[in-house]
Amino acid sequence: MNFRHDILPLKNIVFRTALRIVLNREEAEDIVQDTLVKLWERREKLDKVENLEAFALTMARNLALDWKEKMDNQHVSFDDEAHDRLDENTNSADKMLAQKETTGAIARIINSLPEKQRTIIQLRDIEGKTYQEIANTLSISESDVKVTLFRARQAMKEKILQKKSFFL
Amino acid sequence: MDYKYIEQLIESYFACTTTLQEEQILRSFFSQEDVPAHLAQYASLFNYETAAKEDVLSEDFDERIMSQIETAETKAEEAKKPRIIKLAARSLAERRFLGISPQVFTPFFKAAAVVAIALTIGRAAEHAIGEQEAEEKSNVVAVDPYIKTNDVQQAIRVKDVSQAEMKATNDSIINIATKDEIQ
């Protein structure tokens, strides 16, 4: 097990997945750091792990959910704050990426979904993972993945059609 | 141009019956410049999916995490190094238990302990040294008071084994010699 070759390459997928949960770039970056260091500390036990990427994503998601829970317990209005920050993030990111206001709107639609739905959208539609890999990462059944993805895509479709003129 | 296939894929996409490949086809289709008007409302969705995968960590991340990993490594290395436990480090409670007044007897106690350890190790080593002469090296090692008792015992065990082996070899040589004589 070599850190630079085996663990470090996971950084960006771990980052994007954590970011989709915490909706805060700084926190997502801290989670990536924690996840990769923990993986490295456990490197001797990682030979038994079938899918290192899914394992890393599960760890990162758990850290992200812990952070979110902590924020909720501190009575920080997570959604409002997250949305403010999110607008900043998506605006700057989108100017770079697609230079379109409408993609920013899509980001907001996805990020307003419940955590499980947006994480599944992230893993399926952005990272291109199979249902099996997603089920493995989230420790749920494949049919649960499909049902949740279905709800998420339906919600996205509905919101896009509501604002159809905006997206045209 | 007929967009039946794409329309069908879009429908399947929202019904969650598309494969990963078909979803990739949709993303590729919408990445082109001329998307027909009746499908244009979905362009942002699929273009966002493509673009979002390009979101990466800041450039200085590698440097920061590598230094963190290296620090952790150094700490782990240091933890692995054997520590010499000094006699002076005995706790007060322990000294009281032994009935020694710490102020007066500590130096004597230290000296006595060092002598005792040296004697014990020396005797153990002496005992192990048989008639063989090749023991000089390990003798020196065994007298070193800093060496761990375990190591000495290990050395003794190895020595015993080698002695036994030597004997066995000698015996077999004698056997062969005897056989030769008989023949």
Burial label, B146 (beta-carbon count in 10 A; 0-12, 13-18, 19+): exposed
Query: Is residue A59 in a domain?
Result: no
What residues in A contact B57, CB-CB < 8 Å? 11-12, 15, 29, 32
pLDDT attached to residue B117? 77
What CATH number does the domain containing A134 carry? 1.10.10.10
The CA-based diameter of chain A, rounded to the nearest angstrom, is 55
Which tens digit of pLDDT belongs to each residue from A52-107? 999 999 999 999 999 999 998 886 655 555 554 555 555 555 444 444 688 899 99
Interface test with A, best of B16, B75, B80 (most A CBs within 10 A): B16
pLDDT attached to residue B175? 66
Query: How confident is the model over B152-166, as a mean pLDDT?
Result: 63
Tokens of B25: 């086809």
Checking if the pLDDT of B100 tops 60, the result is no
Domain count, chain A: 1
Q: Which residues, 6 or more positions from A60, have their beta carbon under 8 angstroms from its beta carbon?
A: A14, A17, A18, A31, A32, A35
What are the extents of the domains in chain B?
4-52, 90-182
In the stretch 85-104 of chain A, residues with CB closer than 8 A to chain B read: 93-94, 97-98, 100, 102-103
Look over chain A and give the mean of its residue pLDDT values, rounded to a whole number: 89
Query: How confident is the model over B59-86, as a mean pLDDT?
Result: 84
Assess contact for B16 and A153: CB atoms under 8 A.
yes
Domain that holds residue A167: 114-168
Query: Is residue A154 in a domain?
Result: yes
Which tens digit of pLDDT belongs to each residue from B74-89? 887 888 877 665 555 5
Interface test with A, best of B46, B64, B65 (most A CBs within 10 A): B65
pLDDT attached to residue A157? 97
Quote the minimal CA–CA distance from B2 to chain A in Å. Answer: 20
Cross-chain Cβ contact A40/B56 below 8 Å:
no
Checking if the pLDDT of B171 tops 60, the result is yes
In the stretch 25-64 of chain A, residues with CB closer than 8 A to chain B read: 29, 32-33, 36-37, 40-41
B55 — contact with chain A (CB < 8 Å)? yes
Tokens of B85: 């436990």
Query: Is residue A164 in a domain?
Result: yes
Query: Is residue A46 in a domain?
Result: no
pLDDT attached to residue A166? 87
Q: Helix A52-73 and helix A25-41: axis angle, to 10°?
A: 130
Assess contact for A83 and A40: CB atoms under 8 A.
no
Q: How many CB atoms lie within 10 A of CB B64?
A: 13
Query: Is residue A136 in a domain?
Result: yes
Q: Which residues, 6 or more positions from B109, have their beta carbon under 8 angstroms from its beta carbon?
A: B87, B95, B98, B100
User: What element of type H or E holds A167?
Assistant: helix A164-167
pLDDT attached to residue B55? 95
Closest CA to A81 of A68, A96, A100, A64: A68
Query: How confident is the model over A122-144, as a mean pLDDT?
Result: 98
- Using the Cα atoms of residue A104, residue A110, residue A113 and residue A114 in order, give the sign of their dihedral: negative
A37, A124, A154 ranked by CB distance to B69: nearest: A37
Which tens digit of pLDDT belongs to each residue from B10-53? 999 999 999 999 999 999 999 998 899 999 999 999 999 999 99
Distances (CA, A) of A161 to A154, A155, B99: 11, 10, 88
pLDDT attached to residue A98? 44
Query: How confident is the model over A133-161, as a mean pLDDT?
Result: 97
Q: Which residue has the tokens 């010699």?
A: B177
Burial label, B91 (beta-carbon count in 10 A; 0-12, 13-18, 19+): exposed
Quote the minimal CA–CA distance from A93 to chain B in Å. Answer: 8
Checking if the pLDDT of B65 tops 70, the result is yes
Which tens digit of pLDDT belongs to each residue from B118-140? 777 777 766 665 545 454 554 44
User: Would you give the end-to-end CA distance of chain A in angstroms?
Assistant: 49
**Percent of chain A residues topping a pLDDT of 70:** 85
Checking if the pLDDT of A40 tops 90, the result is yes
Cross-chain Cβ contact B47/A100 below 8 Å:
yes
Query: Is residue A145 in a domain?
Result: yes
Assess contact for B177 and B146: CB atoms under 8 A.
no
Query: Is residue A40 in a domain?
Result: no
